[in-house]
Amino acid sequence: MKILVLNCGSSSLKYQLFDMKGEVVLAKGLVERIGIGGSLVKHTKGESSTVHKPDIQDHSQAIKIVLDLLTGPETGVLSDLGEITAVGHRVVHGGEKNAKSVLITSDVIKSIEECVPLAPLHNPANLMGIYAMQKMLPGVPNVAAFDTAFHQTMPREAYVYGIPFEYYERDRVRRYSFHGTSHDFVSARAAEILGKSIESLKIVTCHLGNGSSLAAVDRGRSVDASMGMGTSCGVLMGTRCGDVDASVLLHIMELGSSASELSDILHKKSGLLGVSGVSSDLRDVEKAAEDGSERAKLACDILYRSVKKYIAAYAAVMGGIDAIVFTAGIGENSDLTRKSVISGLEFMGVKLDDSKNGGLRGKEAIISADDSKVKVLVVPTNEELLIARDTQRLAK
């Protein structure tokens, strides 16, 4: 089976084409600046990449260009589009109705549309990709893999907020959390690396990137996660604030900010950027801290401390911990972050091996000391592969 996986953002489109015999990536790429001018397509086939600069008005046109590249004489890996067996779509928000990947039907599309108010930037773009594929490849199965699905196993006490219960019953205001596909993939892969059944393990997964979240994965099930109804809470992120007292938000509004201005502050002007005044990229902030910037050092320390707190809290929630997994851009590549987070957790039986951690970037590894009771791992995430596997299973 050849599976095409699409991840449609508000103005972007990521894609990967898998040959599921051996789970090989035949081609992949990124379409940027859809509908806003200056569109760019980077297409990779094997070891070679090409860059294209067409004018792309919408996602339908972007997908048409992708399909042309996949079948083109120079860029193609398919003789014709009939080789595509099924298409998997990353959908950000599935609400409470979608607790696992599903074959897309009219009812599923309706449920995704119902979740648009919960993810107004992402779900409409995800739907555009679905509509476009249904039009261009009629009869080919489409599968939706939801970012929120993995966390639907959380107990009520983990996802209901301490506000009047009517807001949950009537408006479904609750913790949903995100990055579920990533947490699912890396926790399962960590169990494989350790040679143990995931049903026997208590794991804290740390998806740390420009957007970050942690999850408590108890015997393969998410029982708590740091993001909430939206994507701004939890640990400090690139431009997002992390956990903030609600009184702070009310105070900022009383100082004159509107709801839309407050949203802009919390999502685009806070986090590493807001505290450091340097950048939203941790590499830049860590460099500034090394060069003596006190605000940059403070931003780093807030990040390290917030991740450390969640790890310890989730160990308490699960009644123990067997492994800590780092993934995503920061988690996979910043040995300083991993060392700073683990430092101080020795009381829990966590012991890092500096020789294994130092300089490790983007590779699978166990970086804890041999005598560490709690194993620490780096596992590069591969959400697209998990989506492709779900798509293959459901399309069959």
User: Which residues are part of the catalytic machinery?
Assistant: 147
User: Cβ distance 225 to 177 under 8 Å?
Assistant: yes
- State the alpha helices, DSSP H only, in 201-327: 246-254, 259-268, 271-276, 282-290, 294-318
Q: How many CB atoms neighbour CB 210 within 10 A?
A: 16
User: Strand, coil or helix: what is 375?
Assistant: strand
Q: How many CB atoms neighbour CB 23 within 10 A?
A: 13
Q: What size, in residues, is the chain?
A: 396
> What one-letter code names the amino acid at 205?
T
Mark residue 204 as left, alpha or beta (left: phi above 0; alpha: psi -120 to 50; beta: remaining). Answer: beta
User: Cβ distance 306 to 242 under 8 Å?
Assistant: yes
Q: For residues 58 and 11, what is the distance between their CA atoms, to the nearest angstrom?
A: 8
What residues pair up with 8 in beta bridges, in sequence order?
13
Question: Would you state the structure tokens that stand for residue 331, as one six-digit string?
Answer: 């988690």
Question: Would you state the structure tokens that stand for residue 130, as one six-digit string?
Answer: 């679905």
Alpha-carbon separation of residue 395 from 6, 58, 113, 388 (angstroms): 16, 27, 22, 10
User: Cβ distance 280 to 210 under 8 Å?
Assistant: yes
